[in-house]
Amino acid sequence: MRLSDSPAPSYYAASAAGELAVRGTRAPLRGEVRADIGVVGGGIAGCSTALHLAKRGFRVVLLDARTVGYGASGRSGGQTIFGLAASQQALALQVGAADARRLFDLSIEALDLTQSLIREHRIDCDYRPNHLHVSTKPRQQKELEEWSTELRDQYGYQSIELVGREQLQAHVASERYWGGLLDTRSGHLHPLKYVLGLANAAERAGVEIFENSQVLRYAGGAAMDGTDIRVHTAEGVLTCKHLALCGNAYLGAVAPSLARRILGVGTYIIATDPLGESRARSLLPGNAAVADINWILDYYRLSADHRLLFGGRVSYSAVEPPRLAESLRRRMLRVFPSLADVKVAYAWGGYLDITMSRAPDFGRLADNVFYLQGFSGHGLALTALGGKLLAEAVAGTAERFDVFARIPHRDFPGGPVFRRPSLMLAMLYFRLRDLL
Ligand SMILES: Cc1cc2nc3c(=O)[nH]c(=O)nc-3n(C[C@H](O)[C@H](O)[C@H](O)COP(=O)(O)OP(=O)(O)OC[C@H]3O[C@@H](n4cnc5c(N)ncnc54)[C@H](O)[C@@H]3O)c2cc1C
């Protein structure tokens, strides 16, 4: 994957330079190390899993191929949003109404957990409340109205407010939208500072973290027969009783059966030069994070130093789109034409791990090998909860983990050669639908 080979100079890495310098890079795994549980992946999912396991008294070792926050968690749009990437109707068809309701409630717990982790571990990551889904056409405003009714009446979610075209100006100073759905329980944060803070909290709880320690393969992990799992990196071996795979779209050959169920899709963000507080606030007076409801969506928010961070575009071909910054800038100007004089200071991207149904994929490859993947672009809050549920499952209470594990998943069709072309065709259809 090209993005993983060339870490983009993101705004997040630049603005977390202080935190990164204080911590420094952690040593790689060398020689033989033992633990109760090995965690693969230092994104939010892996760090939260490790933290929650350590809090339960387990001895935990976390391995990352690069550095903590290197993957999607340190690059994301920073929007903590209720629900899952799959719609509640789609989930209800797959798992039934009762589990769909449980999944929704767990997604709300994920929002609250994110905020409580920030508070409990004093993570300085610029968390701000408020999120808006916005419509770019009358048909979509009707969809938002129906969604609002469904969320209130069927799911009892009351922190939302439907906003009409006129009122929307108090939140987003743009002529592009027909209205929005404001949620005061969702919000936004600096994702790299957040995941670095979680890793520090995990270390304080006793987790050992090794960086530049790519897991090449593991052996064992067949059943509850007391057999140890041996996890191999280039320079060391970790022996453990349980393994948690939290490697997102980067995990690949370590677990081929998981890799077949997700596709790494590139998505991209630009950050403008600082706009100054009053100009920034004139664009987003309520400082909400915003996402439109198109399939190929625009998503944006203000940073703490008053830049606009604007995300959009996707790449299904594993190739970074040409002139990325310029094409995202054009999308930004469609929303805020008044920014024509503003320079783009940073552009970067990362991989989303999407599943066929867009529902997250949690489960077990063996009784003692767990995994979290498939957040499908909606993982900022849910990853932390996934880690907590995985820790519950290892400790013997798998009820809540299994609500997710019951969601059925299929391999992407077409095998390794044809799955990307067939998905690109499907995406072309959705792109056309956005235009109608
Ligand atoms: C540009 C972008 C914008 C996004 N915006 C949003 C948003 O606004 N809101 C939202 O909810 N979600 C968003 N997402 C999705 C969200 O960021 C992800 O769902 C979430 O961060 C996934 O976290 P993770 O811990 O599962 O994976 P990651 O953060 O990708 O972490 C996986 C880690 O595993 C390591 N790893 C992989 N394989 C191995 C191996 N073999 N050995 C050792 N280590 C390994 C990697 O180095 C990496 O550090 C966005 C994603 C991107 C890329």
- Please classify residue 207 by burial: count the beta carbons closer than 10 Å to its beta carbon, then call 0-12 exposed, 13-18 middle and 19+ buried: buried
Contact assessment for residue 67 and residue 42, using Cβ atoms and an 8 Å cutoff: yes
What pLDDT, on a 0 to 100 scale, did the predictor assign at position 296?
Answer: 85
Cα(103)–Cα(353) distance, integer angstroms:
19
Collect contacts of 323-327 with beta carbons under 8 A, ≥24 apart.
Answer: 324/268, 324/349, 325/270
| Distance between Cα 373 and ligand 1 center (Å) | 9
Of all atoms in ligand 1, which is nearest to the CA of residue 349? 1
| Distance between Cα 285 and ligand 1 center (Å) | 30
| Distance between Cα 383 and ligand 1 center (Å) | 9
Cα(287)–Cα(308) distance, integer angstroms:
11
Give, rounded to a whole angstrom, the gap between the first and last alpha carbons of the chain: 33
What pLDDT, on a 0 to 100 scale, did the predictor assign at position 425?
Answer: 54
Of all atoms in ligand 1, which is nearest to the CA of residue 81? 11
What pLDDT, on a 0 to 100 scale, did the predictor assign at position 249?
Answer: 86
In order, the DSSP letters of 298-364 are: -EEEE-TTSPEEEEEEEESSSSPPTTHHHHHHHHHHHH-GGGTTPPEEEEEEEEEEEESSS--EEEE
Q: Please, what is the Cα angle at 280 between 276 and 285, to 5 degrees?
A: 140
Of all atoms in ligand 1, which is nearest to the CA of residue 351? 53
What residues flank ligand 1, with Cβ below 6 Å? Answer: 40-46, 63-66, 70-73, 75-79, 81, 214-215, 246-248, 250-251, 254, 267, 269, 299, 311, 349-352, 375, 377-380, 383
Contact assessment for residue 365 and residue 220, using Cβ atoms and an 8 Å cutoff: no
What pLDDT, on a 0 to 100 scale, did the predictor assign at position 226?
Answer: 61
Ligand 1 atom 35, closest CA = 41
| Distance between Cα 246 and ligand 1 center (Å) | 9
- In the chain, which residues have pLDDT < 70? 1-8, 221-226, 316-322, 415-436
Cα(109)–Cα(47) distance, integer angstroms:
18
- Ligand 1 test: best mutation among 64, 126, 302, most atoms within 8 Å of CB? 64
147-159 pLDDT, tens digit per residue, is 999 999 999 999 9
Task: Identify which of 218, 10, 325, 372 has the alpha carbon closest to the alpha carbon of residue 312.
Answer: 325
What pLDDT, on a 0 to 100 scale, did the predictor assign at position 433?
Answer: 55
339-352 pLDDT, tens digit per residue, is 999 999 999 999 98
Cα(4)–Cα(183) distance, integer angstroms:
33
| Distance between Cα 340 and ligand 1 center (Å) | 32
Question: What is the SS3 assignment for 202?
Answer: helix
Cα(48)–Cα(56) distance, integer angstroms:
12
